[in-house]
Structure 1
Amino acid sequence: MQVIITDAWLAKSRALHLSGWQLLAAALSASLVLMLVAAGMYHWVFLKGAREGWPVIGSVVRLMIKDETEQRDRYLRENLNVMARKVGDMEARMMQLESLGARVSGLAGVSMDLKTPPGRGGALVSARPLSLEELQATLDDLERLTNQRVDLMTVIESRLFDQRIRKMMVPTQAPVPGKPLGSAFGWRIDPISGTSALHTGQDYQADTGTPILAAAGGVVVTQSYHPEYGQMIEVDHGNELITRYAHASRVHVRKGDLVKRGQRIAEVGTSGRSTGPHLHFEVLVQGIPQDPKKFLNLNPNPVTVAGARAGAVAAP
């Protein structure tokens, strides 16, 4: 394509030769410039009309703002409704948790005196849509109640753990399970001296080498040979409660060892002042011998008491 440019007096002329690609690029450039100018003018006119309140433009602006506001309100309302349903589910679960907590606290011996705020509690049901402020207030109440429940459950857990530990420290485990009982706690005729004497423990008849189990968890405070008790072990369970295991043939723990309920600590024997293989088991509270049956009977599976066999009773 050839373009000829001349001045006003036709004194000079100039010819421009444009190829097809150059002509297309020029057209596109001109179009882009026109679009930018039009957009700028439209923007300037629209803003000026909105600021100065031109009737037509003002109406368009109000419609746009109204539509945008309605869309935003509808979006917020839909999200508030979803959140309200979830909060309602949370409150219903909080009621279930409160009921469960009441039962568990009764087992743990903990007083549960937690009250929901006035006018609240239960599933979140409302006849009218909730506002954002009301929903936030409900969430704040739920957070406060949740913190209270967490504190309560922590106390209950601590109390139940303490009760479990105390229970595990009470000698209710038979030291020689399944074996018949010999001489019981109390006054009897001493099998060696033939005189009346207090038998301070409970005898278990068993063959030499039969495992002796710890009646409860505790710390070994004595592991030595006693002239009367023979190979003897004493386990301290706290609260001035001690169990004693006598006449062992072999011991498996030492002084200072921690033992668990049911742990093998020794083997039945006939060491010391004894007339036959057996275990002499004692329970002492503040150093005073107690009847072991008072503790062993707390076990849901107590050992059946059998008659004593002759020649298998101990002196101490």
Structure 2
Amino acid sequence: MSVTVFIQGRNGVTRWQPGKRWLLLPMLLIATGAGLYQYNQQRFESQQASVDSERQAREAQQRQVKQLKSATENQLATLVSHVAKMQAKLTRLEALGQQLAQNYQLDEQFDFGAEVGVGGPSDFGSTIELNQLLNDMEQLASGIDKGNAQLSLLETVASNLNIEQERYISGRPVSKGWLSSPYGLRNDPFNGHRAMHKGIDFAGSEGADVIATGAGVVTWAGNMFGYGNLVEIDHGNGLRTRYGHNETLSVAVGDVVAKGEKIASMGSTGRSTGPHVHYEVLRNGQQIDPKKFVYRHAG
């Protein structure tokens, strides 16, 4: 196949017939353009893939940073919780130690409020991992718990005799006054009929001290029908005492009172004819004659 090209010029029409090489030139240009386009397309796709890979890597790094931050915050929260628990336990241990030292006159030998003296040379070791620190703190907290338990046991053993002596009911519920009505049948002061009087009355001056005849826990502190302002103390072993007709009360429910401690002021509230203390002793909820407790020797 041949191609003839006619060219119009000033001197007329010129006929030009290119050779085969000239015919291959367009095909060569087209092939070259296609190759360049494909090369650039592949290069663009490679660059795009690289950009996507870098973006994914950055996103993965950001996720790792967030996870590390979250894990660190959780570990710090755990550490703070451990420290708070240890502080509370150390405070209790210190208070218990101080109480024991004061009770048994050991203040000069044991100062629980001062820093513990430690020292000596030490070689620097490896860094401490957080998990190891938490384990060490757990062991220390366990040791503190054991110390608390041992100190509590020591306090119980050391004060056992004092506890038994303190809650031993004996003596009168007043520091000043006289027995005005015994336990048993009597003529009721209001209607004159024979009635059972389930306590002992101690008369005295209004406002005089009313005292606990044994150590215990206050289970009632307020008005009770017939008794007026009443204090009731539980001494354990099924024994309770009551102190009625008080003018004012010096204790509240839940208070721990010592033997001989003032719990009220004498008055004439409730069903009463004048200032006095109506004193009862109850065993397992039943009133019994308080006389043997009033007149027995202190334990």
Give the TM-score, by structure 1 length.
Answer: 0.44
CA radius of gyration, larger in:
2
